[in-house]
Structure 1
Amino acid sequence: MSRNQRWDFVRNKNLCYCCLEEHTVRSCRSKRDALLHSYQATEEAGNATTGSRRPPAVLFHGGESSKALFRYIKVQLYGRNCYINTFALVDEGAACTLIEKDLADELGLDGPEKELCLRWTGEISQTEPASKLVNLQISAANQGATRYDLKGVRTVAHLDLPIQSLGEKLIKSRSDLKSIPMPTYRNAKARLIIGLDNIKTRENAIVGVPLEGRELEGDDFVAVRCRLGWSAYGRQCSGEASRPRILHVCECNNGDRLHDLDEAMRNHFALESLGVTVANKPLRSKEDERAACIMEAKTTFDPEAKRWQTGLLWRYDKMILPNSYPMALGRLRCLEAKMAKDPALSQFLMESMKSYQEKGYTRQLVREEIVSNSNSWYLPIFTVTNPNKKKTRMVWDAAAEVNGLSLNHALLKGPDILVSLMGVLIRFR
């Protein structure tokens, strides 16, 4: 029947528009029956309201299923000065062990705070900014049971685990559970999740792994025993229905988050550097090119002396230098006069020259090597004392001039092959 035909039928039979019973509409508190709705009108109204936006998709697992029980175990948790009986969920799909913050406070547990990111299936994540790293002990619920250490347990505000019950009626109805001391509970809610990091304790004791089990053929319900006691989990065949639930807990790795940040920065730099290329050969002046050629041609390594040596960076191939001997001789006499007045200065210069000769930096020329020509230059020396460090050093004065010309004027500075500090600061992000 079409919508109009259904409306005609209701009017002719004098039925209620809400519940389709024979009474007046005013006395009925039910909503209008869905059979009288206009789906086309509803869709058109929705499209007119939202415009061209696509409605959000809602995922729902429908249908009835047998009731599922998670692996709850009744345990005792030990803090500093007290112990508390509660329930724990053994979850081999969880990467870390979690405890509710209120329970940790009741036990008097404390530890350093560290942000925790929890991720479930479907990339659903939750951040716990005030999570603490605590240590505690756990044992079976009975008195005098062996205690086991749980290390690196993380606190969370709320676990919100499902409430479930395991009654005597179910245990007595199953032959596999009658002969074992299976504890019963009603409306229990776990406040602790034991993950993979504490499945095996530091004492090499396997806490949550089953040591033995009981089951029936053709059934999805099992009972297992671990060091914390017996527990039953699976799907019951009692006919009770519950909404399916998927539970998975894992801890995000901070390295992955840093990797994502690193990838984002790399992508940003890649976009920012589009069309920007670095020259393979930096631009140089003619003087720097000449100096570079001289260094490449005359720089050699002396294997016997185990040192490098290079030639002077002459500004031109043929240099005509003035006679610098009189200038150097006058400077030497002035220095000798200072040495005569200052014995400490005299001793410093004598020891410095002797050290240079021992290291092979300088040598005394023989008479045949003393030739004065246009390429000869005599370097005067002087001393400088740093008042802050109170240290004296000897200086070879290449800036001494003769007729307005010095050795520095005849030599090239050479290219700057160091990394530019200004460039480093500009490129720093």
Structure 2
Amino acid sequence: MNPKDRLQHARDLQLCFNCLSPHKFADCQSTQTCRTDGCSKKHHTLLHNSSTYNSTTQRETANRNSRQHDDTTNCSTSISRRKSTRHIPTLPITISHGKHRVHAYAMLDCGSKLTLLKSSIALQLKPDLQLDDTIQLNQALTSSDTASTKMTIAIGPYNQQKQPFQLNDIDVIMDWNLSQFNPELVNSICQRNEPLQHIRIATLPSKEIGIIIGCDFAELVTPSEVIHSKQNVPIGWKTPLGWSLCGRDNAATPNDINTINFTTDDSLFRHVAEWMKMDAEGISTDQRSLSTDKEALRILESSTTRLPNGHYEVGMLWKRGQQLPNNRWLAKKQLDSLLQRLKRNTEMAQKYQETIDTDLQKGFIVKVDDSHEDSTGKWYLPHHPVTNINKPGKVRRVLNASSIYKGVSLNSNLLTGPDLLTNLTGIVMRFREDQIAISTDIEAMFMQVFVSPEDQPYLRFLWKDNTGQPATFQYTRQIFGATDSPCVACYATRQCAKDNADKYPALEQITKRNI
């Protein structure tokens, strides 16, 4: 079969052109590329040289981080380097809704498909506002769902009595990780460049960006007048909302640091931080707060109980003053989205159901009736299937304990706990001491440790029952993905070794030195 026929066969079977698995190319998580010499493009090696492939994959790659959905937005970024600063037009404006008016900084971002209003601003305009919907945010590296709602506002230039521009049904979202705006820097650039000296940006009490105006209101982000000063100096950018700066400034102070203006996921930062930590293994010192570690140890010591079946029950490592709102409605929307996805892949749907049935049989989860319960004191975890191209036919159910609702998540309310794992440097060095080394694994380690009954309602998730209606399930064991699970599992393992020291005297020391 030639490459063209293979491509058509893959298209007929609705296979991903990158890994030949049964999902869309835009949803592919594989990092593999074509292994043909000199190619390295995002397609499978068997499809190399297909005459119609390039145009197809280029089009799908363009849509990879911008899924075709009405409630999807891409937000551009602005990066400050050591010797230059790049400016996206940002200026103060007045926002009104009914009788309420607030001042906030607006970023004019034609790279954003939608206009987004920060919930902290929206609540000043409408105190009873509820985020009762979801929106998918796509950035360069990640895609995430966040709580949202629609709102109509009027905006105008800063301190102007009337706000002539009405923005209908814009999206209000909980929060974003935008760098604070620096009006002093903008004003200093204008002062040292004569053509821009008439531009003056007002300083507001809060330097947070309150609204991103996207290309859905192009008339507000398109300049009616620009002023060019000199090369490598931002241009003056006049819109109906006023003057701002746009472009690069090479005269920025040498103390400027690298920043990325917009992201809703710090996973890349965490990965780099973990890599740097590994690189310094054996020479770095632990800088984590001793007070939080002491608090975690206090919870571990007071809540750990040995059950009659030999397993251990441990409470979750809550931060002081933890407070989680009931996010069931958001979990219901995520369940609806998941079920729609599984309808398109009956094989995956069947395997996903098998993961639920298996956990029920093993007692890892139980079905609960929450129809008559109080709405407080519980949390619902989003979940989704994950496949591995190296393990065909296997589907895992993954929980998202970092899912944010009303500004908080399960993980944001949990302590990490002290690092009870043995330093890897010592393990590697001892590994080389003798001729034979033995490696063992604790099967489903987290699932061997029970969660205290009072904490189990915070480990709920929604799935369908036999009639297809939403049903509530609850974990009875420590889950993979929770911030405190590694510490809890390690503590339970050490406690087990300590409790059995009479039978196995060397076990406690082995556990401390090699796990």
Q: Which has more radius of gyration?
A: 1
Indicate whether the TM-score tops 0.5: no
TM-score, normalised relative to structure 1:
0.41
